[in-house]
Amino acid sequence: MKSVTTLGGLLVAGSAILLGQFSADAVPGGKGGDGGAAGSIGPDVIVGALPDIAKFGMVGGYTAYAVATTSCNIGDEWLAWYANTNQHPVIPQNMYRIKDGKIMQIGQSWLKHGFCALQQNLCGTCQPAGSGCPSNLGVGCSDPYSSSLNGQQSNLGPRSQVNAFTGYYPYPWSAPPAPGTIGRRLVVLTDDLKPNLNIGATYYCEAMYVQSQDAAAGNGWNNASYRKFNVGTLTSTGYTLSTTGPTYQQKPAINAWAAEFNDVEIDVVADAEGGLFHAGARAIENADGTWTYYYAVFNLNSDFSGAGFSVPASGTISNEGFYAVAYHSGEPYSSAPWEITVGSSDVTWYVGSTYAEDPNANALRWGTMYNFWFTSDAAPAQGEVTLATFKNDGAVTYSTIVPGGPPPVPGDLNGDGFVNGADLAILLGCWGEVTDSTCVPSDLNQDGLVNGADLATLLSDWTGG
């Protein structure tokens, strides 16, 4: 069942705190992890549109891209946009792939630094903050950055120097020289886009605006938007990508997972100072009576960052996995995989070092998604999972999908908890060679036939009822 968690049900340090409803003009509906609350006072910058994607070339199996972004100030005060200071927005870009039922982040960029703001009307009636390209974005006004501007290497700064919760960063920023072609840009493994390696996959781009006034006004929770894109032809510079459909404003791309699969649960979770994570979960039933449990956690703006993830797990656990998109172009953070431990009652992933031991360990930093998964023969149930936070050595708990139910009875073909005449009728209706996917569960011994051996198994499991 898809979650309808709102910020009114955020969990902070394990305790529920009532924060009220979303601003109606900021997050339409305010359900299912649609974003964060935007205040009705002060500047409020959002991503109003993601018009297109430019490519810049391939190097060593990777392709560099940049996503065009159009900002909107949906607040009631001007938003500062001063070049060559730390009083302008910074803009990260991300890419995601949904494949085999799970979402993964496949690319991330450094940060485009804003330099002035046009006064256009994408998101409403603009009250200009000046003429030409002034150093403020007026109330109701929008400002476009082309994909070529957002891919300009000289104006891309590191994420590691930005506190996305406060919007603070030092200026001028410092960084090593950009590697040729792909340096600092939105870098994606070319094979992650290759159609014959990703049959049935769908793709999404995402961008955010981070700015200190926006954050100080309490409006930093709705800064991400996403849009679908298609993979086109391959040229010498990489696959051509084209955006399609609307831009989903004020929602991070993890919401696309829930839009594609109605059994995905999305929860919005806050750290101890109010930085947000968007956490998704899905349990996919396998043909052998097990479930694969997928978890995706997106750090929207938590400066504390994520350090560990723990799921209570019953049944027999196997096929544990972890995935994180790699940092690049000289960012100081490690990209080492998290350690996985299967205990008697839980599965735990851990970054491997405390903040005191290694501040550049591969914590789940802002604007980034990590994935966790395993297989269990226990059925889905609701349970409390724990997200450990890095800089403050804290933890947050929230309720989501976990393996907590009893293993299925093989003969219970309709999943009602009984093995009886209804299941017998299903098995007899599939008698013979299995050629229809709906009959696969009736092949209890998985030999390709529904016959007397399967009937004997069903009768041995008979419960009546």
388-447 residue pLDDT tens: 999 999 999 999 999 997 666 888 888 777 899 999 999 999 999 988 878 988 999 989
Cα distance between residue 360 and residue 158, in whole Å: 14
Q: Which residues of 281-314 are buried (b: 16+ CB within 10 A; e: fewer)?
A: bbbbeeeeebbbbbbbbbbbbbbbbbbbbbbbbb
Enter the pTM of the model: 0.84
What is the rounded average pLDDT of the residues 46-67? 98
Beta bridge partners of 295: 281, 372
Cα 408 to Cα 286, 307, 457, distances in angstroms: 12, 34, 14
The string of pLDDT tens digits covering residues 115-141 is 999 999 999 999 999 999 999 999 999
What is the rounded average pLDDT of the residues 105-122? 97
Overall size of the chain counted in residues: 465
Q: What percent of the chain has pLDDT over 70?
A: 91
| First CA to last CA distance, the chain | 27
| Predicted local confidence at residue 23, as pLDDT | 34
Q: Are 120 and 103 in contact (CB under 8 A)?
A: no
Mean per-residue pLDDT of the chain: 90
3-state SS class at 281: strand
pLDDT greater than 50 at residue 209: yes
* Residue 189 CA from chain centroid, whole number: 18
Beta bridge partners of 280: 266, 296
Beta bridge partners of 402: 381
The string of pLDDT tens digits covering residues 335-348 is 999 999 999 999 99
pLDDT greater than 90 at residue 29: no
Angle at Cα 348 formed by Cα 343 and Cα 351, nearest 5°? 135
| Predicted local confidence at residue 16, as pLDDT | 25
| Predicted local confidence at residue 38, as pLDDT | 45
| Predicted local confidence at residue 407, as pLDDT | 65
| Predicted local confidence at residue 409, as pLDDT | 80
Q: Which amino acid is at 245?
A: G
What is the rounded average pLDDT of the residues 228-236? 97
| Predicted local confidence at residue 202, as pLDDT | 98
The DSSP output letter for 168 is B
Cα distance between residue 392 and residue 361, in whole Å: 14
Q: What are phi and psi of 98, to 5 degrees?
A: -105, 120
Q: Are 303 and 159 in contact (CB under 8 A)?
A: no
The string of pLDDT tens digits covering residues 272-311 is 999 999 999 999 999 888 999 999 999 999 999 999 999 9
Question: What dihedral do alpha carbons 16, 22, 28, 32 form, nearest 10°?
Answer: 0
Angle at Cα 163 formed by Cα 386 and Cα 23, nearest 5°? 75
What is the rounded average pLDDT of the residues 171-200? 97
Choose between 28 and 341: higher pLDDT: 341
Cα distance between residue 186 and residue 126, in whole Å: 31
Cα torsion angle, 15, 16, 18, 22, sign = positive
Q: Are 157 and 151 in contact (CB under 8 A)?
A: no
